């Protein structure tokens, strides 16, 4: 389908709690510059280097943190300390090609109650959600290795332990950890984006001719929003749901006649979609250009592995935190997923570029081209996904796959871009609705969510009228 892009949009400018215990307070630094990270309405990220832990006798002389014996795994971390308020945590390291084999655990202190949590495991996914090897996004020089993020809610204290698995296979010797490990503490920022002024007279942002783009919108915000025209007006917080007949008419109109006659009868009803503006994406974080592939042949379903300890009203904050973690901490060009679904069944626009377009994501290493990624916020390894969330995935795929003439019950062939399961260049037969683990050796989207995919395919096809 032909993309709708904004044109001639003008340039614009974006515009200590008391503790029951005395804990050391580190400098709060950004990963790239070391400068103090300010607390802003758009959120903030504290990036703190991990240090060797454990008895000094266990360390190899002259190599800080390295075990003198292969039987004693290397351990790094941080002792309990006060930090600025954050809500999501993850660990990153220098080389995205180096695997972290071991265990990552954190405990955090609630900013509301001052109570410390129990130790919680952070899932290690070793870049399985990432751009394909050789892709421009991965070759930018900014990409880091990263664990899954963990949502912990508003917290102002943290302690972390990372222990290598003894004898674990790695690009480094058995019980060693990757270099440059840091803990990332992400604050999602305000619930409602603050009005942005042009810096001259406090008025709305304008283009280089002084014309107003939209009240409270930067050029980046306007470009992101314009990619969803004509499905919604510029600056819309959501794209409304449509019945099946209206969804077909909308798609035919938006495609400017390029929608195939074969696809038109099988477009499912469009679900309500909260736009990036609606969930408060800071558009200044992402790279400006949008990147597209030629079509959408498959949908990969994921879980965020960020835990289920969030209220549905907090889902936009969870999404803003994931966005910052992907871009600021992991070094990606934008949020990796094309869409997100919360546990109450609300659908959110993910990576910028337009909800009806074939936007290149960074969700399934090796199979990002000609596919879309849908993440269900939460961890569904042992917990069952809510029925409304599973239904939302069916509704979303019935609509989006229908735009490209795909039968959710069918098979398709994708060419691997490289990864740990299929070599680059291999043609692989996939379900049109697949789980992440079908394209990469991973537990994602969790056993319980993966088990729902057969019924999701059937429901999605039925919504298309098949």
pLDDT at 9 over 70: no
Q: What is the pLDDT of residue 141?
A: 81
Domain extent for 93: 44-187
Same domain, 81 and 142: yes
Q: Residue 219 is encoded by which pair of tokens?
A: 């050029």
Domain end position, chosen among 139, 170, 187:
187
Same domain, yes or no: 176 and 234: no
Do 177 and 300 belong to one domain?
no
Query: Do 372 and 235 share a structural domain?
Result: yes
Closest CA to 104 of 46, 188, 174, 182: 182
Regarding whether 315 and 170 lie in a shared domain, the answer is: no
Contact between 88 and 188 under an 8 Å Cβ cutoff? The reply is yes
Number of domains, the chain: 2
Crossing angle of helices 387-403 and 244-254, in 10° steps, is 40
**Structure confidence at residue 383 as a pLDDT band (50, 70, 90):** very high
pTM for the full predicted model: 0.84
The CATH number for 404's domain is 3.40.80.10
Count of CB atoms situated within 10 Å of the CB of 348: 25
In this prediction, residue 212 carries a pLDDT of 44
Q: Is residue 214 part of a domain?
A: no
Let me know whether 130 and 247 are in one domain.
no
pLDDT of residue 6: 32
Structure confidence by residue, pLDDT tens digits, 334-368: 999 999 999 999 999 999 999 999 999 999 888 99
| Residue 83: alpha-carbon gap to chain centroid | 24
In a domain, 267, yes or no: yes
Identify the CA nearest to 434 among candidates 350, 361, 374, 347.
374
Q: What is the pLDDT of residue 433?
A: 98
Residues 309 and 436 in one domain: yes
Give the CATH number, domain containing residue 108. Answer: 2.60.120
Domain boundary among 133, 163, 187: 187
Determine the 3-state secondary structure of 103 from DSSP.
Answer: strand
d(CA 247, CA 261): 14
Q: Would 82 be classed as within a structural domain? A: yes
84/141 same-domain check? yes
**Residue 405 in domain:** yes
Q: Average per-residue pLDDT in the chain?
A: 82
> H-type helices in 261-377, by residue range?
276-279, 315-324
Cβ-based neighbour number of residue 288 at 10 Å: 12
**Six token digits for residue 363:** 């969700």
The more confident residue out of 169 and 400 is: 400
| Phi (first) and psi of residue 324, to 5 degrees | -65, -40
Gap between the Cα atoms of 214 and 195, Å rounded: 11
67 within 8 A of 53, measured Cβ to Cβ: no
By mean pLDDT, which of 251-255, 301-305, 403-407 is the weakest? 251-255
Residue 194 falls inside a structural domain: no
Section 367-376 average pLDDT: 95
Contact between 310 and 151 (Cβ < 8 Å): yes
Same domain, 150 and 271: no
419 has pLDDT over 80: no
Listing DSSP states for 426-444 in one string gives: -EEEEESEEEGGGTSSS-T
Task: Tell me if 8 is assigned to some domain.
Answer: no
Residue 15 lies in a domain: no
Q: Which of 146, 171, 187 is the last residue of a domain?
A: 187
Same domain, 176 and 236: no
Same domain assignment for residues 52 and 163: yes
Question: How many Å apart are CA 395 and CA 339, to the nearest integer?
Answer: 12
Query: By the 8 A CB rule, do 112 and 156 touch?
Result: no
The count of residues in the chain is 466
Identify the CA nearest to 148 among candidates 116, 184, 177, 172.
Answer: 184
Do 164 and 231 fall into the same domain? Answer: no
Residue 40 has pLDDT above 50, yes or no: no
Residue 329 lies in a domain: yes
For residue 167, what pLDDT band results from cuts at 50, 70 and 90? low
């Amino acid at each position: 389908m032909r993309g709708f892009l904004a044109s001639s949009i003008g340039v614009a400018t974006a515009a200590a709690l008391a503790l029951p215990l005395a804990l050391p307070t580190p400098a709060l630094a950004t990963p790239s510059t070391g400068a103090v990270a300010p607390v802003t309405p758009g959120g903030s990220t504290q990036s703190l280097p991990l240090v060797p832990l454990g008895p000094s006798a266990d360390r190899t002389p002259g190599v800080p943190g390295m075990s003198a014996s292969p039987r004693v795994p290397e351990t790094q971390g941080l002792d309990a300390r006060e930090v600025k308020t954050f809500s999501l945590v993850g660990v990153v390291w220098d080389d995205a090609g180096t695997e972290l084999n071991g265990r990552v655990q954190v405990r955090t202190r609630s900013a509301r109650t001052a109570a410390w949590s129990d130790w919680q495991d952070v899932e290690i996914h070793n870049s399985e959600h990432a751009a394909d090897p050789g892709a421009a996004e991965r070759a930018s020089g900014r990409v880091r290795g990263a664990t899954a993020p963990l949502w912990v809610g508003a917290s102002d204290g943290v302690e972390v332990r990372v222990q290598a698995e003894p004898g674990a296979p790695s690009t480094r010797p058995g019980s060693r950890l990757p270099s440059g490990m840091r803990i990332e503490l992400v604050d999602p920022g305000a619930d409602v984006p603050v009005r942005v002024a042009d810096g001259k007279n406090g008025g709305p942002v304008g283009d280089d001719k002084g014309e107003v783009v939209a009240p409270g919108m930067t050029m980046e915000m306007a470009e992101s929003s314009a990619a969803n025209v004509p499905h919604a007006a510029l600056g819309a917080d959501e794209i409304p749901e449509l019945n099946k007949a209206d969804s077909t008419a909308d798609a035919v109109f938006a495609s400017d006649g390029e929608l195939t006659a074969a696809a038109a009868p099988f477009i499912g009803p469009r679900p309500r979609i909260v736009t990036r503006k609606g969930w408060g994406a800071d558009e200044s974080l992402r790279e400006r250009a949008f990147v597209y592939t030629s079509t959408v042949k498959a949908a990969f379903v994921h879980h965020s592995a960020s835990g289920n300890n969030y209220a549905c009203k907090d889902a936009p904050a969870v999404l803003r935190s994931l966005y910052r973690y992907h871009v600021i901490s992991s070094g990606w060009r934008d949020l990796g997923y094309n869409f997100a679904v919360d546990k109450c069944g609300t659908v959110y626009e993910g990576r910028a570029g337009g909800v009806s377009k074939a936007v290149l994501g960074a969700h399934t290493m090796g199979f990002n081209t000609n596919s879309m990624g849908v993440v269900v916020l939460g961890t569904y390894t042992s917990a069952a996904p809510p029925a409304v969330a599973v239904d939302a995935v069916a509704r979303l795929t019935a609509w989006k796959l229908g735009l490209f003439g795909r039968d959710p019950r069918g098979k398709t062939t994708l060419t691997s871009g490289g990864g740990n399961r299929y070599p680059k260049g291999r043609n692989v037969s996939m379900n049109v609705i697949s789980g992440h683990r079908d394209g990469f050796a991973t537990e994602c989207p969790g056993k319980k969510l993966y088990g729902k995919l057969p019924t999701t395919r059937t429901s999605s096809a039925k919504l298309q009228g098949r």
